[in-house]
Amino acid sequence: MPTPSRLRVAAVTATCALLSCLVAGCGDEARGEGLSAQKLTWKDCPAPSQAEGGGSAPTPLPHGGTWQCATMKAPLDWADPRGDTVGIALIRVRTDGDRSRRIGSLIFNFGGPGGSGVSTLPAFGDQYAALRARYDLVSFDPRGVGRSAGVRCENDQQLDAYFQQDSTPDDAAERTALVDHTKKFNAACEKNSGKTLPHVRTTDAARDMDLMREVLGDDRLYYFGISYGTELGGVYAHLFPKHVGRAVFDGVVDPTQTSEQGSLGQARGFQLALDNFAEDCTSKAQDCPVGNTAQDVEDRITELLRALDRKPIPGILPRMLTQSAATNGIAQALYAKEFWPYLTDGLEQAYAGDGQTLMLLSDLMNGRNENGEYSNLTAANVSINCADDKPRYSTSYVQQMLPRFRAASRVFGDFLAWGMVSCTDWAVPGAADHPDVSAQGSAPILVVGNTGDPATPYEGARKMVDALGRGVGVELTYKGQGHGAYDSKNKCVQGAVNGYLLNGTVPATGTVCS
């Protein structure tokens, strides 16, 4: 799923204190005092909260299946399991198959970090209907997200200003303004959610999932992780390799990269997706309204962004479409091939002085609804990324790195490079450079990479397979476009994934779907 303030997903790892806790078995001691024995009270789901994105209560699936919600208690601090607890919001729909063939609960994480699983699973539940034959479908708001002690930073009006800022500074005054905006945002997070911020690392969420597995009554974890959810799944497999049942990673994060390397890789990934969009538009029989050749399309986009840097155009009034908002909107449209027509329309309109469509796309990336209300996607995204990522980058360092980012993408390079300063003044130290996902002894994990993926470039799938260890990761390649593969509805991909999750059939490693 899109990440808002920067287009990357977090690198994660365990802290030394948590690893010591694991060796000592303190988590099991806490569960012995009642957390693993807790009984969930499932009720009809309310409408999503503003933090979860708002909207209406989830409606039953087309072929039956009512959504139920519950709250699970977990330790706020897994290193102090007898201390305060945090409520983890859950959602499920029961299996529609023969109960005697039910395998268990299939837990989804759709990425971000910061995305609400409670609001996302019902929105896309019909896409996973085949898996209900043998599973209850379950998702959750990870800690710090939505209803699970959602992190609060700035209010809606302040966030409007935050996203209107120039995020690709050209001089000292603009650099100072960017740093000041970032410090203000980070200080608001500490003021409003300081108690929660140290406890939203991906290792915390992974331990929550293992408790969830127990509370749901499963001996093994059955899991479907997408985007950042692949990092979360990898960290879980590292911490609990013997608890892994059947797991699928789709839209795979490279677990070997630092946050800088991840941002640079994403610059290349979004540039590749933009190249593919431009080639597609100009190769059709009808004229491409945003350029005569692929190079012309990209030249015109580059000039548009330069012009917006000098003078924004009307967007969704009273807000103006800035260079940053336009870049954000273009990136959002590259997450799925189905969005490419909106990108064409948005660019054509912007060239005529109308920035509404690109701003709508940017709002989608940032978690803003049409009423001007923001979910806590941005707050949670920054909080989890900054708690996970150890590196802290100065403006002078970013300036040194700009040539490399610009070589990777003249459209997205500056935007992603300057995003690296978002954690510089964060109140909580980052855990490590990158996660440890080695999972010797785990059951096979199906790792699905998409060759045209902009947000999690294809190379990350192979890196994840190697990092999981021999005999664990099984790579499947999808030659397609967009972020992730299963939701492309490609029959080969869905057949392989469904075959593994439902029947335990492991596809041959190196299988290619196109």
Instruction: Tabulate helix, strand, coil % of the chain (nearest 5).
Output: 50, 15, 40
- What is residue 35's DSSP assignment? I
Mean pLDDT, residues 333-337: 96
> CB–CB of 132/103 below 8 Å?
no
Mean pLDDT, residues 501-509: 96
> CB–CB of 139/121 below 8 Å?
yes
Q: Give pLDDT tens digits for 394-421.
A: 999 999 999 999 999 999 999 999 999 9
Backbone region of residue 237 per phi and psi (left: phi > 0; alpha: psi in -120 to 50; beta: other values): alpha
3-class secondary structure, 477: strand
The whole-angstrom separation of Cα 457 and Cα 416 is: 15
Q: Give pLDDT tens digits for 102-121.
A: 999 999 999 999 999 999 99
Q: Give pLDDT tens digits for 245-258.
A: 999 999 999 999 99
Mean pLDDT, the chain, whole residue set = 93
Separation of CA 478 from chain center: 20
> CB–CB of 1/113 below 8 Å?
no
pLDDT of 7 over the 90 cut: no
pLDDT of residue 212: 98
> CB–CB of 435/322 below 8 Å?
no
Q: Give pLDDT tens digits for 14-61.
A: 223 333 333 333 444 444 357 999 999 999 999 999 999 999 999 999
- What is residue 45's DSSP assignment? -
Nearest to 73 by CA among 43, 44, 37, 104: 37
HEC readout, 167-180: CCCCCHHHHHHHHH
pLDDT band at 437 (very low <50, low <70, confident <90, very high): very high
Question: Which of 6 and 433 is assigned the larger pLDDT?
Answer: 433
Q: Give pLDDT tens digits for 198-220.
A: 999 999 999 999 999 999 999 99
> CB–CB of 378/159 below 8 Å?
yes
Nearest to 375 by CA among 213, 92, 154: 154
3-class secondary structure, 248: strand
Q: Give pLDDT tens digits for 112-158.
A: 999 999 999 999 999 999 999 999 999 999 999 999 999 999 999 99
pLDDT of residue 379: 98
pLDDT of residue 186: 98
pLDDT of 1 over the 80 cut: no
pLDDT of residue 2: 36
Q: Give pLDDT tens digits for 300-315.
A: 999 999 999 999 999 9
Q: Which amino acid is at 388?
A: D
Q: Give pLDDT tens digits for 339-375.
A: 999 999 999 999 999 999 999 999 999 999 999 999 9
pLDDT of residue 63: 79
Mean pLDDT, residues 427-456: 97
Which residues partner with 288 through β-bridges? none
Q: Give 211-242 as a DSSP string.
A: HHHHHTT-SSEEEEEETHHHHHHHHHHHH-GG
pLDDT of residue 33: 54
CB-side neighbour CA atoms (13 Å) of 239: 30
Q: Name the pTM for this structure.
A: 0.93
Place of tokens 């799925």: 336
Q: Give pLDDT tens digits for 277-304.
A: 999 999 997 899 999 999 999 999 999 9
Q: Which two tokens stand for residue 506?
A: 């492991």
Q: What percent of the chain has pLDDT over 90?
A: 91
